[in-house]
Amino acid sequence: MNDASVAGTAKKITAIYPGSFDPITNGHLDLIARGSRLVDRLIVAILRNEAKQPLFSVEERAAMLEEVVKPYANVEVGTFHGLLVDYASERGANMILRGIRAISDYEYELQTALMNRRLQPRIETAFLMSGEAYSFISSRLVKEVAKLGGNISGLVPPLVEERLRSRFFERRGGA
Ligand code: PNS
């Protein structure tokens, strides 16, 4: 099969990049940039998880995400609850995208990907390696450092840095 016929039969890829994004970090954004170059359409999907106590509401997280994905024409933001594979099917997605920062991420991601495949074999999970510069960044650590007054510049988009500062400042101010 030559290149032209491969291109002619290539399937369009709609990928879901799911997560908590509480808040979005530059590591997430790096993955979004990489993913958007690989797929036709990328839906960044925030889980509505009543069991977790997030710092930012789903609406606040979605608003921050909407802002930072503006430069990417094929990226949109959504929210979901329940099973990821059900949401992916509803949105016509044929791929789930997740990032692997370090080997410590692998075990959880492997289990989740295999469970998702069992639930919905039509949808493949693809893993992308985050850039080395972002491999230590997590939303949890960023929140901890911001809360303790540490420097988080370069770890999150400037708009998120601002939101984190004012969130913790307002809380202290109000206490
Ligand atoms: O950013 P996170 O917290 O690592 O994201 C985890 C997420 C949202 C991808 C995962 O918890 C998820 O997909 N939850 C939806 C529920 C579901 O489908 N569970 C079955 C898969 S094992």
Residue 138: pLDDT above 80?
yes
Average pLDDT value for residue range 52-76:
97
Nearest to 93 by CA among 21, 49, 45: 45
| Å from CA of 160 to ligand 1 middle | 22
Residue nearest to atom 20 of ligand 1 (CA): 83
Q: Judge whether 81 counts as a catalytic residue.
A: no
Average pLDDT value for residue range 143-153:
96
Which structure tokens are listed for 80?
């979901």
34/94 Cα distance (integer angstroms): 17
User: Ligand 1 atom closest to Cα of 84?
Assistant: 18
Say whether pTM exceeds 0.85: yes
The reported pLDDT for the residue numbered 2 is 52
List the chain domain ranges.
12-132
Residue 172: pLDDT above 80?
no
User: Ligand 1 atom closest to Cα of 45?
Assistant: 8
Residue nearest to atom 13 of ligand 1 (CA): 84
Residue 4: pLDDT above 70?
no
- Give the single-character DSSP code of 130: P
The reported pLDDT for the residue numbered 174 is 45
Residue nearest to atom 5 of ligand 1 (CA): 19
pLDDT level of residue 8 (50, 70, 90 thresholds): low
Q: Check 61, 130, 139, 163 and give the catalytic one.
A: 139
Alpha carbon 101 to chain centroid distance? 13
Nearest to 99 by CA among 109, 107, 91, 86: 109
Q: What is the CATH number of domain 12-132?
A: 3.40.50.620
- Greater confidence, 170 or 135? 135
Residue 70: pLDDT above 80?
yes
Residue nearest to atom 17 of ligand 1 (CA): 83
Residue 1: pLDDT above 80?
no
Reported as a single tens digit per residue, the pLDDT across 110-133 is: 999 999 999 999 999 999 998 999
Ligand 1, from 32, 104, 108, 112: best to mutate by most atoms within 8 Å of Cβ? Answer: 112
pLDDT level of residue 7 (50, 70, 90 thresholds): low
| Å from CA of 84 to ligand 1 middle | 7
Which structure tokens are listed for 27?
């590591």
Average pLDDT value for residue range 66-81:
98
